[in-house]
């Protein structure tokens, strides 16, 4: 055998081996991706809510103490679950509805957030989507929901501090500012009410020159998240829904009639189930592909004296969020506190439970950002700090729809940090879907369309590490 023949042979052998190794690698990766949720089940842990907003949560109801048979069982007592319960009863008063909440209503993101009451959805919020007529329709839908919240506040007698003073998306860089002005130019012919504000106008409104400019949405605003949970809980109960707290659903068995099992062995039979479980949905082995739980952090000052607040130059209570991927957001409460949230967010390997050892570093980041924006608050401590899980989807799109072998499992997910207003829009849609009125919502691009596929562990964790390092480097966080 001459040298050339033997070289060709070994090259062919190498290619064969490399192809086999590559195929084995892909098969292994696919296998790992499929096996991961079974090999690495998530823990059913729900940490207590220590946020400032939680002080206004209503006292918890008793847990479920005997087996239950209902038309609709809703898992999760946040904005989504409570609003769905309200609308289900309101639209069909004969239907029996029970909300089953693991800890306490408002224990999740609903009473831990940044209090910004925003229009649109995260994937379209002040971004050029190329579908302006659809944007108009979504904007009108979310704007209408704010009116519904105000009406419900009057109906229940719970004032949730809803203020529609508008909201700003402020720009950290000149290039973001250019994108903002381009967006306004494109959107103008379609009559959406967004405005571009230059640095001087931004500074006049919120007192800081830390930003290059901003987009202003006059239809947005803020509210008190804990009080909004109280409002929806009361509305749902007045409408006749039962609410059980301290009741963890450990398992859902599908069938024409679904069988839910609580962590302490009670059984709930239901014709339909709504997963209003947000960032915790994968703990029940549903929709793991759609979202990943990211832990975000918030801190709030004590009430500021009139002089201190005046020194910030932040006059009217207009909340704002910045243009970074790991966004910072700030607001001012009616009792003159300033809250700041966001910055570095954390994803924990397969846990859906945060790592408390990171919290202090993240709170320091919030203090630094507050000082950067308002140097006069240099010595102002954050009186309360907390964290919360955001159900982040890859493309920041939400989704609402119907799944399951028998088509009787409903869900709303993927709010991606943009759910204060949107959740109760989806709560209403869920009630319509359960009532077989989905035809009204066929126009909505989020109906039965899940967000971009996210792989399981360990690929998910690796992807998150890579993406966050990239953003932190490019956006100097
Ligand atoms: C730090 C932070 C800041 C945010 N800031 C803003 C903002 O400024 N503006 C904005 O629009 N959006 C914001 N968001 C997003 C917004 O808060 C959420 O989109 C919204 O609250 C989601 O509501 P939900 O009812 O779907 O979920 P949640 O409020 O998370 O409720 C889910 C509930 O389900 C319960 N649960 C889960 N699994 C089970 C089970 N197996 N059995 C029983 N119960 C279960 C949980 O205990 C929880 O109470 C923020 C979120 C966070 C975390």
pLDDT per residue as tens digits for the range 467-477: 888 877 777 65
Distance, in Å, from the CA atom of 301 to the CA atom of 383, rounded to the nearest integer, reads: 5
What confidence tens digit (pLDDT) does each residue in 152-209 have? 999 999 999 999 999 999 999 999 999 999 999 999 899 899 999 999 999 999 999 9
Distance, in Å, from the CA atom of 167 to the CA atom of 64, rounded to the nearest integer, reads: 41
- DSSP letter for 223, please: -
Ligand 1 near 352 CB (within 6 A): no
Ligand 1 near 343 CB (within 6 A): no
Residue 98 β-bridge partners: 73, 242
Confidence of residue 385 (pLDDT cuts 50, 70, 90): very high
Q: How far is the CA of 413 from the centre of ligand 1 (A)?
A: 10
**Bigger pLDDT: 255 or 25?**
255
What architecture is the 53-474 domain classified under in CATH?
3-Layer(bba) Sandwich (3.50)
| The predicted structure's pLDDT at residue 130 | 92
Q: Which atom of ligand 1 is nearest to the CA of 412?
A: 26
Averaged pLDDT for residues 239-252: 98
Ligand 1 near 317 CB (within 6 A): no
Mutation test residue for ligand 1: of 420, 425, 427, the one with most atoms within 8 Å of CB: 420
Q: How far is the CA of 113 from the centre of ligand 1 (A)?
A: 8
Nearest Cα residue to atom 43 of ligand 1: 102
Ligand 1 near 60 CB (within 6 A): no
Ligand 1 near 329 CB (within 6 A): yes
| The predicted structure's pLDDT at residue 133 | 94
| The predicted structure's pLDDT at residue 42 | 82
Distance, in Å, from the CA atom of 92 to the CA atom of 432, rounded to the nearest integer, reads: 10
Q: How far is the CA of 82 from the centre of ligand 1 (A)?
A: 12
Confidence of residue 30 (pLDDT cuts 50, 70, 90): low
User: What is the rounded average pLDDT for all residues in the chain?
Assistant: 92
Q: How far is the CA of 76 from the centre of ligand 1 (A)?
A: 9
446 Cβ contact partners less than 8 Å away, ≥ 6 residues apart: 121, 397, 398, 399, 400
Query: Which of 417, 441, 421 lies closest to 429, judged by CA?
Result: 441
What confidence tens digit (pLDDT) does each residue in 91-148 have? 999 999 999 999 999 999 999 999 999 999 999 999 999 999 999 999 999 999 999 9
Ligand 1 near 252 CB (within 6 A): no
Confidence of residue 300 (pLDDT cuts 50, 70, 90): very high
Counting every residue, how long is the chain?
477
From the CB of residue 237, how many other CB atoms can be counted at a distance below 10 Å?
19
Query: Which of 279, 285, 226 lies closest to 413, judged by CA?
Result: 279
Q: How far is the CA of 123 from the centre of ligand 1 (A)?
A: 18
Distance, in Å, from the CA atom of 410 to the CA atom of 402, rounded to the nearest integer, reads: 4
Averaged pLDDT for residues 339-367: 89
User: Does 458 sit behind a cis peptide bond, omega within 30 degrees of 0 on the bond before it?
Assistant: yes
Distance, in Å, from the CA atom of 263 to the CA atom of 267, rounded to the nearest integer, reads: 10
Nearest Cα residue to atom 25 of ligand 1: 78
Mutation test residue for ligand 1: of 162, 248, 277, the one with most atoms within 8 Å of CB: 277
| The predicted structure's pLDDT at residue 146 | 98
Which backbone phi and psi does 314 adopt, to 5 degrees?
Answer: -90, 95
Please tell me the pTM assigned to this model.
0.93
**Inter-CA distances, 148 with 133, 213, 223, 333, 425, Å:** 23, 32, 14, 22, 10
**In the chain, how long is the greatest CA-to-CA distance?**
94
Ligand 1 near 320 CB (within 6 A): no
Phi-psi region of 287 (alpha: psi -120 to 50; beta: other; left: phi over 0): left
247 Cβ contact partners less than 8 Å away, ≥ 6 residues apart: 63, 64, 100, 101, 102, 262, 266
Q: How far is the CA of 12 from the centre of ligand 1 (A)?
A: 56
Distance, in Å, from the CA atom of 430 to the CA atom of 276, rounded to the nearest integer, reads: 10
User: Rg of the chain's alpha carbons, rounded to an integer?
Assistant: 24
């Amino acid at each position: 055998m001459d040298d050339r023949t033997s070289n060709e042979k070994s090259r062919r052998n190498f290619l064969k081996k490399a192809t086999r190794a590559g195929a084995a690698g892909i098969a292994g990766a696919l296998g790992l991706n499929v096996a991961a949720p079974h090999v690495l089940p998530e823990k059913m842990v729900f940490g207590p809510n220590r946020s400032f907003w939680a002080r206004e949560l209503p006292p918890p109801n008793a847990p479920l103490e005997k087996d239950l048979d209902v038309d609709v069982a809703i898992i999760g007592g946040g904005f989504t679950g409570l609003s769905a319960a309200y609308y289900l009863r309101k639209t069909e008063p004969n239907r029996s509805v029970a909300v089953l909440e693991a800890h306490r209503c408002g224990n999740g993101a609903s009473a831990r957030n940044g209090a910004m009451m925003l229009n649109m959805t995260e994937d379209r919020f002040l971004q050029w989507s190329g579908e302006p007529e659809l944007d108009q329709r979504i904007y009108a839908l979310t704007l209408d929901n704010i009116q519904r919240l105000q009406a419900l506040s009057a109906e229940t007698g719970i004032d949730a501090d809803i203020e529609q003073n508008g909201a700003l998306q402020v720009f950290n860089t000149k290039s973001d500012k250019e994108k903002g002005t381009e967006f306004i130019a494109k959107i103008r012919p379609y009559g959406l009410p967004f405005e571009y504000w230059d640095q001087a106008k931004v500074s006049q409104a919120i007192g800081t020159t830390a930003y290059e400019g901003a987009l202003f949405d006059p239809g947005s605003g803020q509210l008190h998240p804990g009080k909004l949970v109280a409002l929806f809980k009361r509305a749902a109960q007045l409408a006749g829904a039962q609410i059980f707290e301290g009741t963890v659903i450990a398992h859902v068995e599908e069938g024409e009639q679904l069988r839910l099992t609580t962590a302490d062995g009670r059984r709930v039979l239901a014709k339909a189930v709504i997963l209003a479980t947000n960032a915790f949905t994968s703990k029940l082995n549903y929709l793991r592909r759609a979202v990943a739980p990211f832990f975000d952090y918030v801190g709030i000052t004590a009430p500021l004296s009139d002089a201190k607040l005046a020194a910030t130059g932040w006059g009217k209570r207009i909340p704002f969020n910045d243009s970074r991927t790991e966004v910072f957001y700030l607001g001012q409460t009616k009792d003159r506190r300033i809250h700041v949230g966001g910055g570095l967010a954390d994803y924990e390997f397969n846990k859906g439970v945060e790592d408390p050892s990171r919290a202090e570093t993240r709170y320091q980041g919030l203090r630094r950002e507050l000082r950067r924006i308002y140097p006069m608050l240099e010595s102002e401590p954050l009186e309360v700090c907390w964290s919360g899980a955001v159900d982040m989807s890859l493309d920041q799109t939400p989704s609402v729809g119907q799944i399951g072998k028998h088509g009787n499992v409903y869900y709303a997910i993927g709010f991606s940090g943009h759910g204060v207003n949107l959740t109760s829009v989806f709560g209403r849609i869920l009630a319509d879907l359960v009532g077989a009125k989905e035809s009204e919502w066929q126009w909505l691009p989020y109906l039965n369309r899940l967000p971009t596929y996210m792989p399981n562990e360990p690929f998910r964790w690796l992807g998150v590490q890579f993406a966050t390092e990239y953003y932190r480097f490019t956006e100097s966080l």
